[in-house]
């Protein structure tokens, strides 16, 4: 028989899980319903995450961070999402916004921006999508024209998570309109107070209501040349490499939402009685719980394997990142829907968190690439051999 190594988390990873869960249960979960009902940024969660260095744990130690590996970062996001999906977008989007810098920026730019993010002095958002350039990112219309030693941005970005609370934004713009499609886009860091940069009104959303989503507008916004991330023309390549890594974190968010829903549903059916016995004693209910848990555990393992590949930078990360995000988000939608069903009428009202979790789960099938796009990514990798 050949030897094999069972994939498992380390003792340190499980100790981290316990620490994050304690913070989430104590500081985040009690505010989750109000955050959703009032569509307000979860400031208490942000403060608690900053106090424990869980807000941007992925930033390497050389830039002032704690240097959490990709799996540890996923565990943080998962455990926060178990309590409040809106709050889990604090560590998730800090990684999304800074990953282009980690992958492609100069050392000077990395130190300038990663350090304050690691200290909790600023949050980072990511500006790629536009009204007419969602899945087709290369068709973006935002322009950055060279002007002396800087650039002038004009255009807009849509669906920007945590816009308005972030201090910094990694923004993609076309810098060579006549250049080859996809290789004519560059990445820049935009500051919240840059002249010519404004925000649209907060979007009114189905879920993740505590995480503000707004448009970004650029009207002759001047960006100094030292804010370029990588070389001109490298922006889309950096953006797509970023998504290979951060789709894994959306998978982790989906797993956390599903776990929270399963936990609440399991507790409810053990307490709820009908026909003289606990609902949990009915075989039909037991089968639903078993299927929910089975799918959830499969999704978790896919996310963890993809996280390990992200940490190593494996060549097959694009396939595994897309697969983990796709499967986990489909699972989160299925599990939360079944959890609402298990609670019956109680699942449909906001007295219980299941309807919120079901609404929050939906976005995980859409952002950072719809699940249809994930399937295209996977198929392309399969056909490439």
The residue behind tokens 């079901």 is: 358
| Residue in 78, 130, 355, 368 annotated catalytic | 368
Give, in order, the Cα–Cα distances in Å from 364 to each of 20, 243, 303, 361, 384.
21, 14, 13, 6, 27
Where b means 16+ CB within 10 Å and e means fewer, 205-235 reads: bebbbbbbbbbbbbeebebeeebbbbebbbb
User: What 3-state class would DSSP assign to 190?
Assistant: strand
Cβ neighbours for 372, distance < 8 A, ≥ 6 positions apart: 135
The residue behind tokens 């399937």 is: 375
Element (H, E) at 83: helix 70-83
Nearest to 117 by CA among 162, 148, 74, 152: 162
Q: Is 368 a catalytic residue?
A: yes
- Rg of the Cα atoms in the chain: 21
115, two tokens:
């350090």
- Active site residues per annotation: 368
């Amino acid at each position: 028989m050949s030897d094999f190594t069972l994939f498992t988390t380390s003792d340190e990873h499980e100790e981290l899980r316990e620490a994050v869960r304690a913070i989430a249960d104590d500081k985040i979960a009690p505010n989750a319903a109000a955050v959703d009902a009032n569509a307000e940024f979860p400031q208490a969660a942000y403060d608690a995450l900053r106090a424990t260095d869980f807000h941007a744990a992925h930033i390497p130690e050389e830039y002032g961070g704690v240097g959490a590996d990709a799996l540890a970062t996923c565990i943080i996001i998962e455990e926060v999402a178990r309590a409040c999906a809106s709050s889990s977008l604090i560590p998730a989007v800090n990684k999304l916004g800074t990953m282009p810098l980690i992958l492609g920026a100069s050392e000077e730019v990395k130190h300038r921006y990663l350090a304050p993010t690691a200290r909790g002095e600023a949050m980072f958002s990511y500006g790629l999508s536009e009204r007419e350039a969602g899945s087709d990112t290369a068709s973006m219309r935002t322009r950055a024209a060279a002007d002396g030693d800087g650039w002038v941005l004009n255009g807009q970005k849509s669906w920007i998570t945590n816009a308005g609370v972030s201090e910094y934004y990694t923004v993609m713009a076309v810098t060579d309109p006549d250049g080859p499609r996809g290789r004519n886009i560059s990445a820049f860091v935009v500051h919240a107070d840059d002249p010519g940069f404004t925000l649209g009104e907060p979007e009114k959303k189905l879920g993740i209501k505590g995480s503000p989503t707004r448009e970004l507008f650029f009207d002759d916004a001047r960006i100094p040349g030292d804010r370029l991330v990588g070389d001109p023309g490298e922006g889309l390549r950096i953006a797509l490499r970023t998504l290979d890594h951060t789709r894994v974190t959306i998978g982790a968010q989906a797993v956390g939402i599903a776990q929270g829903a399963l936990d609440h549903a399991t507790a409810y059916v053990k307490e709820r009685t009908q026909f003289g016995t606990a609902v949990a004693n009915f075989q039909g209910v037991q089968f639903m719980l078993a299927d929910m848990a089975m799918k959830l555990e499969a999704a978790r393992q896919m996310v963890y394997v993809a996280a390990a590949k992200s940490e190593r930078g494996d060549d097959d990360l694009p396939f595994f990142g897309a697969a983990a995000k796709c499967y986990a988000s489909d699972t989160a939608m299925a599990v939360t829907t079944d959890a609402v069903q298990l609670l019956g009428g109680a699942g449909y009202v906001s007295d219980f968190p299941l309807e919120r979790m079901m609404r929050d789960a939906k976005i995980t099938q859409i952002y950072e690439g719809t699940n249809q796009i994930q399937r295209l990514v996977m198929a392309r990798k399969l056909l490439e051999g």
